[in-house]
Structure 1
Amino acid sequence: MSPAGKAEAEPGSAGSRSAGGPFTLAIDIGGTGLKASVLDHRGEMVAPRRHVPTPQPCPPPVLLASVADMVRTLPAFHRISAGFPGAVRGGRVLTAPNLGTEAWAGFPLEAELAKRFDRPARVLNDAEVQGLGVISGAGMEMILTLGTGAGIGIFFNGKVSPHIELSQHPVHKKLTYDMFLGKEAFEAVGVKRWNKRVRVAIEILARVVLFDRLYIGGGNAVHIKGDLPANVSIVANEAGITGGIALWRDPA
Structure 2
Amino acid sequence: MQILGIDIGGTGIKGVPVDLENQEYLGERFRIETPRPAKPKAIAKCVQELVKHFNWTGPIGVGFPTVVVDGKAMAYGNMHKSWQGVQIDELFTEKTGLPCSAINDADAAGLAEVRYGAGKDLKGLVAVITVGTGIGSGLFYNGQLIPNFELGRIPYKKKPIEQYAANSVRKAEELTYKEWAERFNFFLKNVELMCTPNHYIIGGGISKHMGEFEKYLTTDIPIVAAKTKNHAGIIGAACGYLDKIARK
Alignment match of 2:8 (pick from 19, 29, 36): 29
Answer whether contact 2:62 2:238 (CA < 8 A) is retained: no
Distance 1:233 1:53 in 2: 31
Query: Secondary structure in 2 aligned to 1:148?
Result: coil
What's the secondary structure of 2:103's corresponding residue?
strand
Decide whether the 8 Å contact of 2:76 with 2:83 is kept in 1: yes
Cα RMSD for the two superposed structures: 2.2
Change in CA separation of 1:78 and 1:134 when aligned onto 2, cut-off 3 Å: same
Question: What are the residue-to-residue correspondences of 1:6-25 with 2, within 5 Å?
Answer: 22-25=1-4
Q: 2:163 aligns with which of 179, 182, 186?
A: 179
Q: Pick from 117, 120, 127: which aligns with 1:142?
A: 127
Q: Does 1:62 find its partner at 2:47?
A: no
Extract structure 1 runs of 4+ deviating beyond 6 A.
Answer: none
Residue 111 of structure 1, CA deviation: 0.5
Cross-structure match for 1:243: 236
Deviation of 1:52 after TM superposition, in Å, equals 2.9
Larger helix percent: 2
Aligned residues: 229
Kindly state the Cα deviation for residue 223 of structure 1 after the two structures are TM-superposed.
5.0
Aligned-pair CA distance for 1:62: 1.4
Say yes or no: does 1:231 pair with 2:222.
yes
**Larger mean Cα displacement after TM superposition, 187-196 or 138-147:** 187-196
Alpha-carbon deviations, 1:224-251, whole Å to 9, x = none? 5232667222221211111233220423
- 1:85/1:151 contact within 8 Å kept: no
Tell me how far apart the structure 2 counterparts of residues 71 and 118 of structure 1 sit (CA, whole Å).
Answer: 10
Provide the TM-score with structure 1 as the length reference. Answer: 0.81
What is the letter of the counterpart of residue 63 of structure 1?
Answer: I
Please tell me whether residue 157 in structure 1 is matched to residue 142 in structure 2: yes
In 2, Cα distance between equivalents of 1:222 and 1:184: 14
Q: Which moved more, 1:237-246 or 1:227-236?
A: 227-236
Residue 38 of structure 1 is matched in structure 2 by: 17
Specify whether residues 182 and 98 from structure 1 end up closer, same or farther in structure 2 by C-alpha distance, changes over 3 A only: farther
- Maintained 8 Å contact 1:191/1:223: no
Q: 1:36 deviation in Å? A: 0.8
Partners of 1:148 and 1:227 in 2: CA distance? 19
Which residues of structure 1 form unaligned runs of 5+?
Answer: 1-21
1:129 equivalent in alignment to 2:108? yes
Give per-residue Cα distances to partners, 1:180-214, cap 9 Å, x unaligned.
23465234322424333222212322342211111
| Equivalent in 165, 186, 199 of residue 200 of structure 1 | 186
Amino acid aligned to 1:218: G
Is the partner of 2:53 in helix, strand or coil? Answer: coil
